[in-house]
Amino acid sequence: MLWVMARQSRCCIQQKAVGRQQATGERQKVAGHRGKAIRQRQKAIGERQKAAAMGEKAEDSRP
């Protein structure tokens, strides 16, 4: 009886670990996309500020 429970719990732990790995992978992927979007936005803001400093109204380059 005891060894059956031990085997079940180990299997459960392995499944949890695999699920956690997949979740972190997805999270990293999403975070990567978010970082790219933030960089693009900051770049667009920087360009707009530069154009404004030169005295012309910057066109909105945001998608």
pTM of the model: 0.34
CA–CA separation, 24 and 32 (whole Å)? 12
**pLDDT at residue 43 is higher than 70:** yes
- Where are the strands (E) in the chain, listed by range? none
Query: For 37-62, what is the mean pLDDT?
Result: 73
CA–CA separation, 57 and 50 (whole Å)? 10
Percentage of the chain beyond pLDDT 70 is 30
CA–CA separation, 5 and 61 (whole Å)? 61
